[in-house]
Amino acid sequence: MSEKVFPSAKPATTAVPPAVNGGAPVSMNGSTANGGTTKSHLYNPTSRPPYRPQPYHRRHLPRRNYCCCCCFWTILIILILALLVAIAGSVFYVLYRPNRPSFTLASLRIHRLNLTTTADSSSSHLSTLFNLTISSKNPNSHLSFSYDPFVVSCVSSNSDVFIGNGTLPAFVSNSKNETTFKGVVVTTSIDLDAETVNNLRPDLKKKNGILLKVQMDTKVTVKMGGLKSKKVGIRVSCDGVKGVLPKGKSPSLANVSGAKCKVDLRIKIWRWTF
């Protein structure tokens, strides 16, 4: 009988290549000698990193820049409005040529101007009576003026001593119209203090007469077609009147040839009037 040779149960081992640079020995099938596996670190150019949405951060302007922007636009709007108002005013002036109304003191008669003082000079009394003729003229073609009642007062030009007051009725002055008031009474009967008497007495003793000033205060409304303005205060001042004390019962006629009347606006802000 022939003998059969059976292979050994222990598998043959292959030679393990030595380790490179002191590393672990690597087997022929790509595994390390101690049973671990190596990982591939090859770069894949077609692969992209996963998309990660970034959180949205809203940009806030600093407070200082915000205030500067507000100031800039506010100033710009104000300048534009001022320009528009100036343009509208220029167009209005060119089309309508508005002019102030004019007033004239036609005559002033002094019926009474007496200053009496008691014997002991303890008190003084002033009694006056004037008669005025006043005319008003509207030189505009498209404007009309509506006046409230006037408060007429008379004072001495040098010392500004109050001499008398009166009233002028309300009236409407239409375009290119002239209105005349005759018999406007200005009178007073008051007691004066010593200082006021000392200021007024030298004026009454002047040979060439006393210088008087007539003032008229009122409010006026301007109308142009269907448009109507708010009431505005005005003062009419007529200066340069020379009055002579009457002799007896006959009134004296004051010299009004040099009297000039000017119209000024009276703007009231709180307690002050300008």
Q: Where are the chain's structural domains?
A: 106-265
Burial class (CB in 10 A: 0-12, 13-18, 19+), 95: exposed
Q: For residue 144, what pLDDT is reported?
A: 93
Q: For residue 8, what pLDDT is reported?
A: 52
Task: Please give the torsion angle defined by the CA atoms of residues 110, 112, 117 and 119, in that order, rounded to the nearest 10 degrees.
Answer: 130
Q: How many CB atoms lie under 10 A from the CB of residue 108?
A: 26
**Amino acid in the structure at residue 141:** S
Angle (nearest 5°) at CA 128 between 122 and 131: 175
Q: Give me the residues of the chain with pLDDT under 50, please.
A: 1-2, 20-24, 26, 28, 30-34, 273-274
Q: For residue 266, what pLDDT is reported?
A: 79
**Amino acid in the structure at residue 260:** K
Q: Each residue of 37-79: pLDDT tens digit?
A: 555 555 555 666 666 666 555 555 556 677 788 888 899 999 9
Q: For residue 249, what pLDDT is reported?
A: 83
Taking the C-alpha atoms of residue 21 and residue 24, their distance in angstroms, rounded to an integer, is 9
Q: For residue 33, what pLDDT is reported?
A: 47
Q: For residue 155, what pLDDT is reported?
A: 94
Taking the C-alpha atoms of residue 20 and residue 178, their distance in angstroms, rounded to an integer, is 127
Q: Which residue has the tokens 């003191």?
A: 105
The whole-model pTM stands at: 0.66
Q: For residue 212, what pLDDT is reported?
A: 94
Q: Which residue has the tokens 């009134």?
A: 251
Q: For residue 55, what pLDDT is reported?
A: 59
Q: For residue 1, what pLDDT is reported?
A: 45
> Which fold is adopted by the domain 106-265?
Immunoglobulin-like (2.60.40)
